[in-house]
Amino acid sequence: MDARPKTTERQSSSRHIPELLTAKELEAILKIDVKTIYSYVQRGLIPYVKIQSNVRFVKEQILEWIEQQNYRPRSMDRNGRN
């Protein structure tokens, strides 16, 4: 008799598998060269997942990362001062 719990369809379908992007796909989204993306990976500047020797990017994490990189200067008054 198998002592392992049975997995129902409901349990297995409720798992969220994130959308993974390759560096080439990310290049098209960010408009940044693949070499620069790999440089960001090496320097720990961008979130990534390593699967053996393959680097992938979780789309949701990348979108959050982009939002964090967003710089909004303070509005200036009429005299050009902050």
d(CA 54, CA 43): 17
Using pLDDT thresholds of 50, 70 and 90, give the confidence band for residue 71. confident
- pLDDT of res. 12: 53
Where in the chain are the domains? 18-69
Residue 21: count of CB within 10 angstroms of its CB: 20
Instruction: Round to whole Å and give the CA distance between 55 and 48.
Output: 7
- 14-66 pLDDT per residue, tens: 688 899 999 999 999 999 999 999 999 999 999 999 999 999 999 999 999 99
CATH of region 18-69: 1.10.10
Query: pLDDT tens digit string along 1-14?
Result: 556 655 555 555 56
pLDDT at 73: 84
